[in-house]
Chains A and B, each alone.
Chain A
Amino acid sequence: DAGITQSPRHKVTETGTPVTLRCHQTENHRYMYWYRQDPGHGLRLIHYSYGVKDTDKGEVSDGYSVSRSKTEDFLLTLESATSSQTSVYFCAITASGAWNEQFFGPGTRLTVL
């Protein structure tokens, strides 16, 4: 696997609590992404980053925020978790260019009760 780690790998939380997921890469890639995976939907982009402090929304960004203070770290925050945010979250990285493949982390399984 490419040098991508995600933490925590599993988390159970309650509705209304804040949650932060971390993605860490050692590849020095510029682009980082957060996706969520739900049955029947494939992967959907939540937010992405194209550089330190440069982030933007994806197609399912409501209820999520991100931060990237260092090249290697990309944080995803659920300000007030809801049951609809129960999902598996994947971080991905890529070098620049739409023709480059993405490399994925191992995922974080989040359950919101």
Chain B
Amino acid sequence: AQSVAQPEDQVNVAEGNPLTVKCTYSVSGNPYLFWYVQYPNRGLQFLLKYITGDNLVKGSYGFEAEFNKSQTSFHLKKPSALVSDSALYFCAVPPRGGNNDMRFGAGTRLTVKP
């Protein structure tokens, strides 16, 4: 079954430093992988997706993600964190044979400190 895992519940970084939020995947065939962000008291918002092609995917708000097939990872990155990046981040994958729904990781809470 298609699934993703987020090994870190919490990530803390200082403003201006690079950030990484980790995601590993287990899929059969070519993966479609997504990152979403959830700000307090809001629904999830799409950040970026990997379908095929370049392993480095650029998304909203200066985020990017690197697809690594050998390590089965899809880590979210940003070169310079902002306090406003503090939020809950979810990695997701559509299940094979599903109806276009998503299977989400448990989420990683990112806190950026001034």
A-to-B contact residues, CB < 8 Å: 1, 4, 31, 33, 40-45, 48, 50, 56, 58, 90, 92, 94, 96-107
Contact = CB atoms under 8 A, between A and B. Distances in A.
B26 to A, nearest CB: 15
Given A48-B101, A50-B99, A94-B100, A99 B43 contact: no
Interface of B: 32, 34, 41-46, 49, 51, 90, 94, 98-107
Given A1-B43, A90-B44, A42 B105 contact: yes
Nearest to A103: B46
Contact of A100 (B43, B90, B98, B100): B100
Nearest to A1: B43
Q: Interface centre among A41, A43, A106, A107, by most B CB within 10 Å? A: A43
A96 B100 CA distance: 7
